Structures are given as structure tokens and as C-alpha cells.
Amino acid sequence: MEIDGVLLLDKPKGCTSHDMVDFLRRRFGLRKVGHCGTLDPLATGLLVLVLGKATRIQELLMAEDKRYRGVMRLGQITDTQDADGRILEEHPVPPLSLNQLEAVFAKFSGEFLQVPPMVSAIKHHGKPLYKLAREGKVVERPPRMVHVFSYQILEWKPPLLGFDIFCRKGFYVRTYCHDIGLALGCGAHLAELRRLQSGNFAVDRALSFSALEQMQRAEQLLPHVLSLPEVSRIRRR
């Protein structure tokens, strides 16, 4: 059977967004499935999946603003800017007050330029950067304008720094951590990340992957799928 609508899934750690798309296709025999914003294997949280006719609004839903909760690890720079990468540099973490941290975070607020990481899906001469990165290549990436609407420092337990961030589409949280680490003089990388929200869709309404794994038939998905009129109402809130 074909299902038309949007499924909110709480993606577990250790798998890609495309893994979730493939799972739905194979398990339930769905032909048209897409996701609205990549989450890396390191990340957990809200993954907006479009099914059937809802794939027509994939780009629209992908453009929504996002909210994340994360942890950065100060004192280490990695080649992927996150904890899955190889450590390139290690530096002592200076004694930093919350006021000092706030002053640096404030520099990365509002509109500013960000250089996309090599592990992004942006294409260079038709080839995704992450594929070039796997070949050990590094190419020049022009900076892009990004926007942070708000941020909050949640916890500071050296060398780990917890934060919450609300940003526009096209923002790289791993690069945000990397750049803040450079500004603090000790380097940093993204250690943990969870997407809490995309537009008006929140992770607290999402289906867990463990619950999804227990389903065997497409009919079992139906109570969890938002219809297109429902999606339209939620987006207008």
C-alpha cells in the first residue's frame, strides 16, 4: 500500500538519515520516501520523513528553521569537526568563566559567514565534498551566510560545554563548535547533537526507532503519519 503524509521519527545514534529512508522502503514496501534535513550518524533526534505524495513538499519542509541541543568538547580539533573524526590537535583548556564563554558565543550570533565543512553534501565540480574528504582531499569552500536566532549555554563542565541553538537552514553545528573552539584559543569539536525541532515539528511528537522496528505492516504506521492537511495546519501555527 502507499501512504501519503509526514512521519516524525526520533533517529537513533549510529545510523544515517538515508538508513532510515531505506528501512521504511524495505520494511513496508514504500516506493516514495524522503527525509527533510540530514542528521549525521553521531546525531539523534527529529528526522522529518515524507511519504508518497508528501515528497512533493520535501524542499518546503527542508527549508524550516532548526533547534538543536549539543555538547562540544574543548581542547581537541578533529578532521571532521566532530567526535567521529581523527584528532589533529590537542590543547590545554584554559580556565574559562561563563562570562568569557558568553562573549565568544555572542560573536557567533545573528548573521555571520561560515565555511562549510569538508564532510558536507555540498558539491564541488559535481562531486559531494564528503566523497572528496573520504579520498583525503581538501578543497577551498567559499563561506556562506548563516543565521543564529538564539543560543543558550546550558552547562559548563570542562572540557564539555552544553548548548542549545536555534538557527536557519544550511547551518553546520559541527563548524559552529570548531569555530568557537578556535575563538577560545584551545579548539573544540562537536561531541553530541540532538535535533529538537524543525519548523513547528518537535521531537516530543516523534516515533522512536525501537517502536518502528516492532512494526511489520504498513497499516501499523498509519496512526503515526501526519496527513497533508494536518501538516499544513501545524506549519501555519
Annotated active-site positions, please?
A: 40
Burial of 96: CB neighbours in 10 Å, binned 0-12, 13-18, 19+? middle
The strand pair at 127-128 and 33-35 is best described as: unpaired
Dihedral, 146, 151, 157, 159 alpha carbons, nearest 10: 10
Name the packing angle between helices 98-107 and 173-184 (round to 10°): 120
Return d(Cα 212, Cα 23) in angstroms, integer.
10
**Beta pairing class for 225-226 and 110-114:** unpaired
